[in-house]
């Protein structure tokens, strides 16, 4: 499942006339990197969730997805910015009782997601998240950060902490089994009126069924800011992405 909604306000004015996930990263649209990452990880059946006035542009770009290696591509429309967890709920009929991998389309990785997906396939139950090491405390204060117990076990995820509990940032890749559909109906909107994916993840942590991986190599959130967008562009131009 690829989430490509949002207003893109942090990339304004670049997003005044298009969805941010259609902006170029090096030589192709941003959305293509998320598709490539999932297809190369062995996930050729995808649902893309978007919204806003530019939703139709994804269909014009991607069509049935075959050009991108997708066997089956479905689309869902999020009528208002209700949060990542709300968007996830749109995929319930698509996923059914299977496991699901959720990826935010503005996340770009140097290395393949294959090992993470493989590990989740072998996980008996629960959820899994992908972390990335970020050394700058000033950057961590703008991210979700993992809190570890005894330096290893997940104790929780803290959003935008003033005093980051670790150097492990939560990336935009989340993996869930079918019990996630029982969690979503009980979420309460946050102060910004959205259903937060951090609340979903902290539920699995409290249940003791959340595992994690720390990704090697570069990770960038191209939608975080104008500066981050160009930093991702520069890295991909020089080094590429989704490499095995």
pLDDT digits (tens, 9 = 90+) for 157-180: 999 999 999 999 999 999 999 999
Looking from the CA of 116 toward its CB, the CA atoms found within 13 Å total 32
pLDDT of residue 140: 97
| This prediction's pTM | 0.95
Mean residue pLDDT across the chain: 95
Instruction: Tell me the CA end-to-end span of the chain in Å, nearest whole number.
Output: 21
pLDDT of residue 9: 85
For the record, the structure tokens of 215 come out as 């990704």
Tell me the per-residue pLDDT of 47-84, one tens digit each, with 9 for 90 and over: 999 998 899 999 999 999 999 999 999 999 998 878 99
Neighbours of 39 (CB within 10 A): 18
Residues 241, 83: Cα–Cα separation, whole Å = 27
Name the CA radius of gyration of the chain, rounded: 17
Surface-to-core class of residue 101, CB atoms within 10 Å of its CB (0-12 exposed, 13-18 middle, 19+ buried) = buried
Which is more confidently placed, 182 or 82?
182
Between CA 3 and CA 11, with CA 6 as vertex, the angle to 5 degrees is: 115
Question: What letter would DSSP give residue 82?
Answer: -
Tell me the per-residue pLDDT of 195-221, one tens digit each, with 9 for 90 and over: 999 999 999 999 999 999 999 999 999
């Amino acid at each position: 499942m690829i989430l490509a909604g949002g207003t893109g306000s942090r990339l304004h004015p670049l997003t005044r006339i298009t969805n941010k996930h259609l902006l170029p990263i090096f030589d192709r649209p941003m959305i293509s990197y998320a598709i490539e990452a999932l297809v190369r990880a062995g996930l050729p059946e995808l649902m893309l969730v978007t919204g806003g006035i530019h939703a139709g542009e994804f269909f014009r770009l991607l069509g049935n997805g075959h050009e991108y290696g997708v066997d089956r591509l479905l689309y869902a429309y999020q009528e208002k910015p209700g949060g990542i967890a709300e968007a996830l709920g749109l995929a319930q009929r698509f996923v059914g009782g299977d496991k699901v991998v959720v990826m935010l389309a503005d996340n770009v990785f140097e290395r393949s997601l294959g090992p993470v997906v493989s590990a989740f396939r072998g996980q008996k139950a629960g959820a899994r998240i992908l972390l990335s090491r970020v050394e700058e405390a000033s950057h961590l204060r703008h991210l979700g950060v993992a809190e570890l117990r005894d330096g290893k076990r997940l104790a929780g995820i803290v959003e935008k902490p003033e005093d980051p509990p670790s150097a492990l940032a939560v990336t935009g890749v989340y993996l869930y089994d079918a019990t996630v559909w029982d969690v979503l109906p009980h979420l309460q909107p946050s102060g910004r009126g959205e259903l937060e994916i951090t609340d979903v993840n902290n539920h699995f942590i409290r249940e003791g069924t959340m595992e994690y991986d720390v990704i090697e190599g570069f990770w960038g959130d191209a939608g975080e800011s104008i500066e981050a967008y160009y930093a991702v562009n520069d890295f991909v131009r020089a080094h590429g992405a989704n490499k095995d």
